[in-house]
Amino acid sequence: MSGDEEKNGHLKKLEKAEENLQLFKTDLLDYEGLCAAITGCTGVFHVACPVPSQTTLPNPEARLTLPHPAKVNKVVLVSSVGAVMLNPSWPKDQAMDENCWTDKDYCKTIEMWYCMGKTVAESEALDFAKRNELNIVTVCPSIVIGPMLQSTLNASSLLLLNYLKDGKDSVQDDRNNPIVDVRDVAEALLLAYEKPEAEGRYICSSYMIRARALVEKLKTLFPNYNYPKNFSEAKEGPELSSKKLQNLGWKFRPLEESIVDAVQNFEQSGLLGKD
């Protein structure tokens, strides 16, 4: 299988892909290549952003700026709650909403370049929209779980997979995990695109659950895995509010459905060593 097939083969299996899907080879940092891909489009979904994997990059912010598509009616940009949650100045007793932005100086202090990159990309995109009268809406998902289309494992799915495979001797941080189903994220993106009243940014998160409670729920649904039993204490994390997105018409499925579908997908994909 070629490299392109490994990356994109699952897309070609989508319903009516043969008639409706066109794939373009380009680079997110190649402005001309992006323009060629979106020429003639009325809308663009920007669902990926390059991020540095090492903190030794001389200027990680410079590599994370959103390429600026033009001549489209609407752009929906997928950001992250990483652009929301790292704000030590936000009132502790107040749920974080779209007015809360991650503190970039704080990110530099703790070398959290992913969150820094998402914050820079989203804020620059919204600023660009204001300056150029371009309609950009941003959606900030939390940890995305659920069944995968692709055959390779993505980072957010590791949350559940690690709990299923880490074993009884591992020690897990009993932190709060903000979670959302991948299919509910897709619905949020469609709402942001299709609703004329959609504007600004939208937090997209369904549940906040502690690691220990999540493991207990996994054990109830799938009792035959070797789950961690030891958890270290963690500070209470901030709550997230998706009220603005819900007011747009967004609904999300039960957490149990997301967990069951995700784990069954892991099993079917061979990621858990089962047929």
The parent domain of residue 8 ranges over 1-39
Question: Rounded mean pLDDT of 146-162?
Answer: 85
The answer as to whether 79 is a domain residue is yes
Q: Are residues 5 and 100 in the same domain?
A: no
Helices (H) and strands (E) in the chain, counts: 10, 9
Among 15-29, 53-67, 140-154, 184-198, the range with the most confident prediction by mean pLDDT is: 184-198
Instruction: Report how far residue 198's alpha carbon sits from residue 101's, in angstroms, rounded to the nearest whole number.
Output: 19
Tens digits of residue pLDDT in 252-271: 999 999 999 999 999 988 88
Structure letter (DSSP) for residue 82: G
List, by residue number, the catalytic residues: 118
* All residues at 6 or more sequence positions from 122 whose CB lies less than 8 Å from its CB, including other chains: 66, 77, 79, 83, 138, 140, 201
Would you report the helix, strand and coil content of the chain in percent, each value rounded to 5?
Answer: 40, 15, 45
**Cα-flanking dihedrals φ and ψ of residue 203, to 5°?**
-75, 135
Q: Are residues 46 and 115 in the same domain?
A: yes
The structural domain count of the chain equals 2
The answer as to whether 240 is a domain residue is yes
Q: Are residues 75 and 112 in the same domain?
A: yes
* All residues at 6 or more sequence positions from 118 whose CB lies less than 8 Å from its CB, including other chains: 49, 51, 64, 79, 80, 82, 83, 102
Instruction: Report how far residue 23's alpha carbon sits from residue 121's, in angstroms, rounded to the nearest whole number.
Output: 24
Q: Are residues 22 and 92 in the same domain?
A: no
Structure tokens at 257: 């459905």
pLDDT at 49 over 80: no
Q: Are residues 138 and 30 in the same domain?
A: no
Tens digits of residue pLDDT in 85-113: 999 999 988 999 999 999 999 999 999 99
Q: Are residues 127 and 76 in the same domain?
A: yes
Q: Are residues 35 and 77 in the same domain?
A: no
Tens digits of residue pLDDT in 4-20: 666 777 888 888 888 88
Instruction: Report how far residue 190's alpha carbon sits from residue 144's, in angstroms, rounded to the nearest whole number.
Output: 16
The answer as to whether 226 is a domain residue is yes
